Amino acid sequence: MGTTPQPPSGSAAPVAAAPDGRPEKVSDELERWLSGDGPKTLDSLIELFGEKSFALLFVLLLGVPALPLPTGGATHVFEAIAVLLAVQLIAGARRIWLPKRWRAIELAGPRQQRFLSGLMKMIRRLERISKPRLRFLFNHRLSNVVFGLLVVGGSLAAFLAPPFTGLDTLPSLGVVLLSLGVLLEDVLVVIVAVLVALAGVALEIFLGNAAVGGIKSLF
């Protein structure tokens, strides 16, 4: 699930390492990107994180519908883009493809940076309580396929949730936690994420059936 980032051909940006020789924490990389002088575009984020940007973009895209607020279907475009990226991951793509116009989207606005700062705090909390578990399950072609399929399932469940019900929250949160679990290479976080997503899908089906039954009883 997820793969170790490899700089694109001609790129001089190696994977950073901590003083003790271990790979740099995701939160540290994100903080350096936010505080750096370079452009704060989607393209620069993809270039920094390489193949890890699949998981990071899933966090960004599903982070909004994961908030416990009714979205009224306004986040459907995010969920659709997440499915597009997940299909690329399933197909074995090593680099994200997005239209040039989307790659130029600025993430430097106050609202976007507040969201990214909040995301960084969440990642730091997980980094404090998480540790690499069963790392051999990650960084493989098959695990990427499983990762992509789970993202497709969670994104579709969020997409199909009735508007203004808040039922897209748990499936979206499941995708967010799953992606963070992949970034941290912690299978325990991945398991929790899958359970959260399944709970969301079950709740969606249960309440959907209850609503249909209630409507039928009126006729």
Rounded to whole angstroms, the maximal C-alpha distance in the chain is 70
Q: What is the DSSP string of 158-201?
A: HHHSPTTS-TTHHHHHHHHHHHHHHHHTBHHHHHHHHHHHHHHH
pLDDT of residue 1: 55
Look at 114 and 102; give whichever has higher pLDDT: 102
Q: What is the DSSP string of 40-80?
A: -BHHHHHHHHGGGHHHHHHHHHHHTTTSSS--TTTTHHHHH
Q: Are 143 and 186 in contact (CB under 8 A)?
A: no
pLDDT of residue 145: 95
Residue 186, phi then psi, degrees to nearest 5: -120, 110
Q: Where are the domains of the chain?
A: 26-217
pLDDT of residue 70: 62
pLDDT-derived band of residue 196, with 50, 70 and 90 as boundaries?
A: very high
What is the identity of the amino acid at 11? S
pLDDT-derived band of residue 12, with 50, 70 and 90 as boundaries?
A: very low
The residue-averaged pLDDT of 3-14 equals 42
Is pLDDT at 8 greater than 80 in this prediction?
Answer: no
pLDDT-derived band of residue 213, with 50, 70 and 90 as boundaries?
A: low
Output the average pLDDT for the chain.
Answer: 81
Per-residue pLDDT tens over the stretch 54-95: 998 999 889 888 877 666 666 788 899 899 999 999 999 988
pLDDT-derived band of residue 13, with 50, 70 and 90 as boundaries?
A: very low
